[in-house]
Structure 1
Amino acid sequence: MQRIQPANFLFSARALRDFGDGFVAVLLPIYLLALGFTPLQVGVIATASLLGSALLTIAVGFLGAQHDHRQLLLAAASLMIATGVAFAVVHDYALLLVIAFAGTINPSAGSVSVFVPLEHAVLTREVTDAERTRMFARYSLVGALAAATGALAAATPDLLTAVGVDRLAGIKAMFILYALLGLLGGFLYTRIPQHRPAPDPGTAPALGPSRHIVFKLAALFSLDAFAGGFVVQSLLALWLFERFDLSLSEAGVFFFWAGVLSTFSFPVAAWLSRHIGLINTMVFTHIPSSIALMLAALAPTLPVVLILLLIRAALSQMDVPTRSSYVMAVVTEAERAAAASFTSVPRSLAAAASPALAGVLFAASFRAWPLLVCGALKIVYDLLLLTQFRHLKPPEER
């Protein structure tokens, strides 16, 4: 019997997790508003969740070089289970803040979580340099397609009202489903073989010869993430709800198709990177997506807004597999878990600040400004990345 590769278990676990993140990102603002909280408080919850994710990822960066990655993934899956149950039963705002901070709720429906650096390190061990970007494209494709399907599933509470289930009760049931997905993901992680750390791990730093490269990348990625935090999926949903009075079902359909477009951009990114390089692919697909977002902020009608946002969705995530592949390529094998963590942590920390700022802008009725700020800062990031790293090639491009 042919042995199932560890990558397949990780792909399946990511699909389950991102399916949950997909519907939670859409339902989170609706749920919090239904509990009586303000848009500013919604933004603060999003900030707390991203900040907590950053701190957890810091811990993983230090632990990843010294502990079995499978055990750390199982611990993260357990936290996901606890988070889903807690959100379903807790109504107090202060407690929800604590749960968002300490748990795995993801308002961005993307790869901003404690799971990601661990999965990156495991996956990179499974492939050659030539296959690495293609593997990360498949990994991202699976997650994005699952997240898109999850966004579509966000309409479930509205559908349940037709059979007499209260809408709030339906949303709570979706958080319980989120917890069950964490349980299934944990089972998949048990199928990953153990990977023992190197002898005497305490004698070697988590980052060694690639420290300067990682820190410079982390600084640039933090700018990108700070910009993206102004338009995390929960806040983009809130903007559409408040500006155009979109229904939950309509929002779910939109985010589904946005996710589908993002999904099929990943293999295109892998193909494009083989012809123009990883850095060029990251930059020259990202800039047009930021322009589309800024135009959407100023567009007068819903159809034009949705078209521009779909164009953005088709381009904005093409840097995800290429970015992951690039980081893994320019560091040594021993540094990979730490590099993935230390480039994710500043992203999470920076992204944690901007949702609260976006909430302030929403509360002050400057609803277009979060989208404009996001687009402008992302363009600055792309230009800096191009100037700083265009000459540092991964092995397959030398």
Structure 2
Amino acid sequence: MNADVRRIFLAQALRAFAYGFGAILLGVSLEASGWSSGRVGLLLTAIVAGTAIMSIAVGTLGDRIGRRRFYASLFLSLAAAGIVFALTDEFWVLVPVALLGALSTDVVESGPFTSLEQAMLAGGVDNRSRPRVFGNYNAIATLAGSVGALMAGGPALLREAIGGFPSDQRFFLVFVPAGVMGAVVAARLSRQVELEKRPGLGLPLHRSRANVFRLAGLFAIDSFAGGFVVQSFIAYWFRVKFGVSVEVLGLVFFFVGLLQAGSFLVATRLAERIGLLNTMVFTHLPSNLLLAAIPLAPSFPVAMILLFGRFALSQMDVPTRQAYLAALVDEDERTAAAAYTNTARYLTRPIGPALAGVAQQVTLGLPFFIGGGVKAAYDIAIWSWFRRVPIGTEEAGQLQEAKR
């Protein structure tokens, strides 16, 4: 593992911690602001829209401007956003800042930061090492984000112990050191993370354009289906169906985070034996069948076991998907390929929760069936379309060696 990879891991951990902390803090601050649900929804939509817009900018301009320069500027935008969110709750001030694309509604985002990191990591290692690097990358993000989420309860505890302690909103200032330190780390990356020759004004995708657009469409479908079963809905379903307490739900989802982090590491070892695409499909498909089975569980322990089984498998396609995409495209297409496929996921994901709300009117567990069914169809489609598409020569040689 070279120095650039370690620096990217550090920068990503700083950001994931800030996002984990901010995801909880944002919800608490919006509730305290007294805004209408419509305004809350618009601000969250602006954050998602900003992520998509900046991801497209990364894909189109990232290699022309320079990956390090763009990466550092995103971290500085994160610091600036933290200052604004800490000092004001004026809706018309926060929306333009949200549209800058530096914030995230998720602990582990798939936006402009991730698109640049995927391209830089892919160029820093060979095809044989790449899956493990992406596995470590995602595990670090999940663990750092989980720690950030746990730390978000600190201000409330301190406020109970110390009179006159600042409001929760002021703690968005945590984004400032995270952003500044991230920018410093980005500036210390070597020239090796850049393309040897920056592209001109032509399209950033060329040979792999058709495959990237096809993957983007499939990833959009998968993300749309995931929107039916976001974590907040799963927690709501357990609460309504079995009367599970908030404390127990917190422990359940903390353990889910640990399972996900571990699964990233297992996935990369499995990919070395059976290949990237096989690992993506043959772990994701059974996880979706487990997802669809959850509303059929007769008791909370059975439903919890199904949930744990689902999350032990469902995220194993993440590092393998990133490594597969990097191997599928040429080196000068990686930034654009990562950005466009990540953007596709962001564009469709908000639709799922809205439709899930309608589906619940039919029966409470229907979103599980819809989400699991559509995701299973995605698995079959990606296997059917891409199992004969050649990828990087190094991985092909690796698979042949493993079969001997």
TM-score bucket (shorter structure): 0.7 to 0.9
How far is the alpha carbon of 1:217 from its aligned partner? Answer: 0.8
Name 2:324's counterpart in structure 1: 326
Partner residue, 1:397: 396
Query: 1:13 touches 1:189 (CA, 8 Å); kept in 2?
Result: yes
Gaps of 5+ in 1: none
Q: 2: CA distance between counterparts of 1:120 and 1:44?
A: 30
Q: What is the CA distance between 1:51 and its match in structure 2?
A: 2.2
Paired residues of 1:48 and 1:352 also in contact (CA < 8 A): no
Q: Distance in 2 between matches of 1:236 and 1:78?
A: 35
Q: Deviation digits for residues 129-188 of structure 1, max 9, x if unmatched?
A: 111111111111111121222232233244334314689x55324422233322221221
Amino acid at match of 2:149: A
- Distance in 2 (CA, whole Å) between partners of 1:25 and 1:102 is 17
| CA displacement 1:217-245 (0-9 Å, x = unmatched) | 11111111222234445665676778858
**Of 222, 228, 232, the match for 2:220:** 222
**2:138–2:264 contact (8 Å) kept in structure 1:** yes
The change in CA–CA distance for 1:390 and 1:199 in structure 2 (over 3 A counts) is closer
1:286 to 271, 279, 284: 284
The 1:214/1:350 distance shift into structure 2, 3 A limit, reads: same
TM-score of the two chains, using structure 1 as the length reference: 0.86
Contact 1:29/1:234, CA 8 A, preserved across alignment: no
Distance of 2:199 and 2:266 partners within structure 1: 39
8 A Cα contact 1:137 1:269, kept in partner: yes
Q: Which whole-Å CA distance do the structure 1 matches of 2:37 and 2:66 have between them?
A: 41
Secondary structure in structure 2 of the residue aligned to 1:64 = helix
Letter in 2 for 1:397: A
For residue 171 of structure 1, what is the amino acid of its counterpart?
D
What is the DSSP-based 3-state SS (H/G/I as helix, E as strand, rest coil) of the residue aligned with 2:349? Answer: helix
Aligned length, in residue pairs: 393
Relative to structure 2, which stretch is displaced further, 279-288 or 345-354? 345-354
% identical aligned pairs: 38
Counterpart of 2:152? 154
Residue 133 in 1 paired to residue 131 in 2?
A: yes
Judged with a 3 Å threshold, the aligned counterparts in structure 2 of structure 1 residues 239 and 95 are, in CA distance, closer, same or farther, namely farther
Contact kept? 1:136, 1:321, Cα under 8 Å: yes
Query: Which ranges in structure 2 are unaligned for 5 or more consecutive residues?
Result: 398-404
- Correspondent of 1:181 among 175, 178, 189: 178
Asked if 2 retains the 8 angstrom alpha-carbon contact of 1:218 and 1:347, the reply is: yes
**8 Å contact from structure 1 (residues 230, 355) kept in 2:** yes
1:113/1:203 CA distance change after superposition, 3 Å: closer
Which residue in the other structure is 2:68 paired with? 70
- Contact 1:239/1:367, CA 8 A, preserved across alignment: yes
Over 3 Å counting, the alpha-carbon distance change for 1:104 and 1:303 in structure 2 is: farther
Which residue is equivalent to 1:108?
Answer: 106
1:300-311 mapped onto 2 (5 Å cutoff): 304-311=302-309
Assess, with a 3 A threshold, how the Cα gap between structure 1 residues 270 and 259 changes in structure 2: closer, same or farther: same
Q: Select 1:120's aligned residue among 106, 118, 121.
A: 118
Shift of 1:300: 6.8
Q: CA deviation at 1:355?
A: 4.2
Answering whether residue 376 of structure 2 is matched by residue 379 of structure 1, we say: yes
Q: Distance in 2 between matches of 1:358 and 1:40?
A: 18
Q: Indicate the residue corresponding to 2:400 in structure 1.
A: none
Q: What is the 5 A alignment of 1:158-307?
A: 158-164=156-162, 169=166, 171-194=168-191, 199=197, 201-202=199-200, 204-233=202-231, 247=246, 252-297=250-295, 304-307=302-305
List per-residue Cα deviations over 1:3-22 (Å, max 9, x = no partner). 96111010011111112222
Give the AA of the match of 2:74: A
RMSD over aligned Cα atoms? 3.2
Larger Rg: 2
Match of 2:22 in 1: 24
Letter in 2 for 1:104: A
Q: Which moved further from structure 2: 128-137 or 177-186?
A: 177-186
Asked if the contact 2:120/2:194 (under 8 Å) is kept, the reply is no
Distance 1:288 1:75, change over 3 A: same
- Deviation, 1:339, is 1.2
**C-alpha separation in 2, matches of 1:220 and 1:11:** 28
Closer/same/farther in 2, CA of residues 376 and 281 from structure 1, 3 Å limit: same
2:56 partner amino acid: I
Q: Tell me which of the two structures has the higher relative contact order, counting C-alpha pairs closer than 8 angstroms and 6 or more residues apart.
A: 1
Q: Hey, what's the Cα distance between the residues in 2 that align with 1:314 and 1:130?
A: 24
